[in-house]
Amino acid sequence: MYPELKPAIVCGALNPAVDKRLHVPKLSIGSVQRASMQESTPGGKGLNVSRAAASLGVQVKAAGFLGGENGEWIQSALYESRIGQEWLYVSGLTRMCLNIIDDSSGISTEILESGPEVKAEEALEFIGRWKALSEEGGWMTLSGSLPKGLKDNYYAELIAVSRSEGAVTVLDTSGTALIKGIEAGPHTVKPNEEEFRQWTGADPRNKAAVQQLASELALKGVKVLIVSLGKEGCIAATGDGELWRAVPPAVDAVNAVGSGDCFVAGWTVANARGFDIAQSLRLATAAGAANAISSSTGKISLADTAKLSALTTVERW
Ligand SMILES: Nc1ncnc2c1ncn2[C@@H]1O[C@H](COP(=O)(O)OP(=O)(O)OP(=O)(O)O)[C@@H](O)[C@H]1O
Ligand SMILES: [Mg+2]
């Protein structure tokens, strides 16, 4: 579908993780057990976006903080997947997130480390790296929660740097990082329904409220507000008053974790390719749905995305 690799997009992955999946025949607390299967993948929301964007055929560069041997492992795994990288090595250790699956019941138990605490001087140095990446003037994503040690306006600082260099940012986070980030005017913000309700107290299906909010966000520089709604797809509102809605086909979802990250990848790739809003919402929605039908988190194929794209409805809302 998209043979050439250009343009490049940059995916901010400030708190990446080694996602380790261990299968045990039957989990029992307090005993020694052997894993029947184990697999590690680079994880965290920013790396999910970078992997999905690479699957859609663009050049990708992941950027953020890494530390210690988990960091080195991520670096070599991404190298093998041909994802470009721009890491600042920090003194702390990159986190490991453990998912233990009990094969007898299929129940999974997750234990998430919190990751390294980023020091003030490390935070400052990374802003310089981000500025250099922004000079290309391309599309950049910022996803997930901020690592410990960073102030909650850190995304706002990165967005401001990108804007001053002529680059375009897509922000997908929650809580105060979202509220503060918006003040710097990212091009797109993409909360899911729960994050949107937490942020605004409004119902994302209330057209008037969404339109009003989009016009307020436009004053800060936000061009598009998208709220993703799981299997219902998404709604989008532009600063100039347009309302859109995209709905994926009904699919047999096996694991929708990371669908939002794949949505962000689809949206960003489409925009970087110069697609219009309807085409971009279509690719984004289809990429999210493609993730839902795959058992691995944040992993999509171009073939599934293309198939689902043709079955996705996009219309004015
Ligand atoms: N069950 C599903 N069936 C079809 N498409 C889905 C399903 N779940 C999600 N999607 C697609 O993925 C997009 C993003 O999903 P969702 O709103 O669940 O994101 P999210 O909550 O931000 O996910 P995450 O943060 O785990 O990545 C939706 O807009 C939709 O296109
Ligand atoms: Mg999300």
Q: Is the peptide bond between 7 and the residue preceding it cis, with omega within 30 degrees of 0?
A: yes
28 C-alpha to center of ligand 2: Å?
A: 32
- Domains present along the chain, CATH in parentheses: 8-316 (3.40.1190.20)
CA distance 304 to 249: 12
Long-range contacts of 162-165 (CB under 8 A, 24+ apart): 162/130, 162/134, 163/221, 164/134, 165/131, 165/134, 165/135, 165/137
- Candidate from 51, 112, 263, 293 with most ligand 1 atoms within 8 A of CB, to mutate: 263
Q: Which two tokens stand for residue 151?
A: 């102030």
40 C-alpha to center of ligand 1: Å?
A: 23
pLDDT tens, the chain, 317 aa long: 444 455 689 999 999 999 999 999 999 999 999 999 999 999 999 999 999 999 999 999 999 999 999 999 999 999 988 899 999 999 999 999 999 999 999 898 999 999 999 999 999 999 999 999 999 999 999 999 999 999 999 999 999 999 999 999 999 999 999 999 999 999 999 999 999 999 999 999 999 999 999 999 999 999 999 999 999 999 999 999 999 999 999 999 998 999 999 999 999 999 999 999 999 999 999 999 999 999 888 889 999 999 999 999 999 99
CA dihedral 119, 124, 128, 134 (to 10 degrees): 90
Residue 256 CB less than 6 A away from ligand 1: yes
User: Closest-lying ligand to the alpha carbon of 172?
Assistant: 2
Helices marked H in the chain: 45-55, 68-80, 120-134, 154-165, 175-183, 193-200, 207-218, 259-272, 277-292, 302-310
313 C-alpha to center of ligand 1: Å?
A: 15
